[in-house]
Structure 1
Amino acid sequence: MTVTASNYALKENDLYETEPWAVYALIRSLKKLGLWRCGKIWEPAAGNHALMEPFLSSGANTVLASDIATYSKPHAFHFDFLSDDFPITEMGDFDLITNPPYGHRNFVASKFAAKALQRCPGVVALLLTAKFDFGSTRSHLFRDNPKFRAKLALTDRISWEGNGETGTEDHAWYIWGPVGGRRRQPVVMYDGREGCTFKEKPKPRNLRAIKK
């Protein structure tokens, strides 16, 4: 689909609430990949906690919400994720799932992804634009990253206003997982409001197995 400029005016602190169907699509895909662990999830761009209910209703034991600003719901703690500090020194094993801020030309989203992969020992899943993985400047996040496991392309567009009117941008979930054993081939998955299909990406010719 052709991507055109959005008609939406930017909101303060980029509060765009993710529709539940897009979260459940991610959870279905994590289950197919064997990456839905039902443990501790950190949501570091929580907004008004739109992602939390699907996590909890799908069996997550703990969901920690944080953000740089407070909206209508209180967070577990306040934290600027792009800062160099780390808010909890004893987080233990956790997964990180969020719809991060994008910024101009996705510059903020790129920094957010790099920080997430640096800090999180478990699964990382970020909701980003469908072409976010394009371009050589992000090869360290995808092509050259042994943690990269899957791209879940959303076949329906998200209504960020919650009124059924969709935006003009296509989106996808990008999923990274722990490294172990032989390197797994990244896969492309498709899901929308209903149904799900799955196919494996062709094996790159220059890909080598990574040993323990």
Structure 2
Amino acid sequence: MTVGASNYARQQNDLYQTEPWATRALIKHFPVAGKTVWEAAAGNHLMADVLRDAGADVVTSDVETYDRRHDAIMDFLEPRFSYRLPKHNSIITNPPYGRGNRIAVKFCNLALERCDGLVAMLLTAKFDFGKTRLHLTRDNPRFAAKIALVDRIQWFPGDSTGTEDHAWYVWRGAGDATSPPVMLYAGKEDA
């Protein structure tokens, strides 16, 4: 099956809601019970709800409010915040990607800088193919896993499925023992 272009008209700060099964696919391999997770692109909290149900304390933020209030309205990409950085030991989110994944790269860099613990980003499946991103994957001792989602995420209500493949990219804590990264697979039925 080929990846086709979507006919969806993009808008600034558009809401891409992560189906709960996709977050469950992550926490099946990387449990979050007892962790304090910063969900920095929280949208309507679909991901945050799954993380809470799995035993995490979740702090939410986003650039704007959609249907649910966040702990903070802030742009994760800003170097300084009017809001103090939330106390957390993990960052798990579905960041905005931007053209050529440039915004996603910034999100990953800042998440690794701001969090010494678990970092997990839901990104396009080809995110690790770019040579300008090798510092995040191949050359990064914290890089732990890629979890390829074998089902496509449906971002918007309706009958159509997504038009792109996605994967979780996971980095271990800064002080955790290093081992080679692993490649995992997960789908709706696995979560």
Q: 1:88: how far off?
A: 2.4
Other structure's SS at 2:129 match: coil
Runs of 4+ in structure 1 over 6 Å off: none
The number of aligned residues is: 190
Equivalents in 2 of 1:115, 1:160: separation in Å? Answer: 25
| Deviation sequence 1:61-104 (CA, Å, 0-9, x none) | x110101111111110111111101542572x510000000111
Q: 1:42 is matched by which residue type in structure 2?
A: W
- Kindly name which structure, 1 or 2, has the bigger radius of gyration based on alpha carbons: 1
Contact 2:148 2:184 in 1 (8 A): yes
Equivalents in 2 of 1:123, 1:164: separation in Å? Answer: 34
Matched, 1:48 2:80: no
Contact 1:45 1:65 in 2 (8 A): yes
Contact 2:38 2:86 in 1 (8 A): no
Equivalents in 1 of 2:59, 2:175: separation in Å? Answer: 26
- Alpha-carbon spacing, 1:188–1:74, altered in 2? closer, same or farther (3 Å): same
| Deviation sequence 1:13-57 (CA, Å, 0-9, x none) | 0210000010111110114xxxx3422010010111111111111
Matched, 1:134 2:135: no
Equivalents in 2 of 1:183, 1:143: separation in Å? Answer: 13
Percent of residue pairs identical: 52
Contact 2:89 2:116 in 1 (8 A): yes
Q: 1:10: how far off?
A: 1.2
Contact 2:33 2:54 in 1 (8 A): no
Q: 1:131 is matched by which residue type in structure 2?
A: K
RMSD across aligned C-alpha pairs, in angstroms? Answer: 1.7
Q: 1:53 is matched by which residue type in structure 2?
A: D
TM (normalized to structure 1)?
0.84
> Equivalences for 1:1-212 in 2 at 5 Å?
1-31=1-31, 36-60=32-56, 62-86=57-81, 87-89=83-85, 91=87, 93-180=88-175, 182-195=177-190
Contact 1:6 1:169 in 2 (8 A): no
Q: 1:18 is matched by which residue type in structure 2?
A: T
Q: 1:136: how far off?
A: 1.1
